[in-house]
Chain A
């Protein structure tokens, strides 16, 4: 699929918590096909402080509206500026980027594991899997009840299980201490979250011999494989997260 540079228009900017918001962006033409796990590179304003683009995975999309949604956590100056975007404003985007999650087979048992902003690509994935007539189990970890995001959306597509670090909602503890991960019978695990969490999930999946893919969030400049900055060490050597990932099979990672 050819990569495009397009001016998308902000349709909605919805604040969901103190730190998170969702931007719905409309393509100026028919939206290119995108798969769960793929991402877009957003140009904020090219100013002194937000000079480079920022990568965001596709959180959801609507081919009828030609729109995509990105889930954004306010983490710095760029995302701060994005949080103030108003409907009608323009965001320049390069898309579609990266390799998506692999397709599950009919009848497989699927577990999605997400943590914090790592839930971003998993909603689109859950929706896609549901369309394949599979009801995935979805295990989401957050710091506390106040930090919980998007679980109602996930409930449309599968059974949702929550953990919080402080026990203020769902089960107390980490996702990697949850019985679903420790004992659940799954054919595939798809995971996105903080690196420490993904490492623990990968290690559990490997020890239980379960197919596992993770979506990596690495610092990158270009998103199209020319800056060679977002590398991850794998069995194939250093590869670019932007072009060979962001979704990588657990067995390839040298974690």
Chain B
């Protein structure tokens, strides 16, 4: 048996494979394909205080080895979650986490505080990196002053595990990783989508209604691996790697770059059973290479190259 478990602060995860916010619904949508309890955790879709309709259609376009989306945080709000979804998730033996969004610092704080009353939600992922909303999101996460302010404010009211999801749309990821650590984040997750754009040349118009959107999928993986590597060298808190992970090899790449855990996102759209395949694949790799604990591989290249 190899060990796949790890901790963020005092919170234990059975393995380093987590489903990424915005790509796994409320988790329930995946139940036909996988047993959610096999996962290290689930981060349910980006939530706001009030319901949000999101952006107009079309919201997605396939691009080489990836896709652009401009969903814009469509969700039913916290009240709907508390009433209809939370009761269905509380019995699950895995970490159900919520991705937290707001248009103002006050909204982030109010939502985080409200979630802190949900006993079975052990962690939040503070999303300061959504590229598809006019107010908040990436605007907070790409400015060091506002990034610090929002993390600090949420930290004051939220005592459980706080993960900060960083934007790749910055010049220095180290700077933002450090800000998160300084302000008391328990972990950082990166990267959110890269701001991108596509034009339908035949129709001579933008492919997305919002013109720009967030790029995800294997197309962004090398950028994400580089940023995880940089961030992991900068901070002592765990780094969760995200960006185009399709299989266990991709997952291990992030881990060797310095990620303590990884999130599977866009890959779920193609194969919703893929997180379990990744867990098994990591296990097999460890057995084949004679590692007893996957943590020996975290930041492996930094120790050796």
Q: Which chain A residues have a beta carbon within 8 Å of chain B's beta carbons?
A: 2-5, 43, 46, 48-53, 94, 218-222, 224-233, 237-238
Contacts and interface: CB of A to CB of B under 8 A. Distances in A.
B286 interface: no
B273 A51 contact: no
B56 to A, nearest CB: 8
A220 B25 CA distance: 15
A224 B67 contact: no
A52 B67 CA distance: 8
Contacts of B64: 48-49, 51
Contacts of B271: 5, 43
Given A48-B65, A53-B270, A238-B53, A226 B29 contact: yes
A227 B32 CA distance: 16
Contacts of B29: 224-226
Contacts of A5: 33, 271-273
Interface size classification for chain B? 20 to 34
Contacts of A230: 57, 60
Contacts of B296: none
Given A51-B217, A227-B71, A231-B74, A221 B60 contact: yes
A233 B62 CA distance: 22
B18 interface: no
B23 interface: yes
Given A5-B271, A226-B30, A227-B71, A51 B65 contact: yes
Nearest to B66: A51
11 contacts: A43-B270, A51-B217, A51-B270, A53-B269, A219-B58, A221-B62, A224-B30, A225-B25, A226-B29, A232-B57, A238-B54
A238 B268 CA distance: 22
Given A220-B60, A226-B30, A231-B59, A52 B269 contact: yes
A228 B71 CA distance: 7
B61 interface: yes
Given A43-B270, A231-B59, A226 B66 contact: no
A122 B30 CA distance: 29
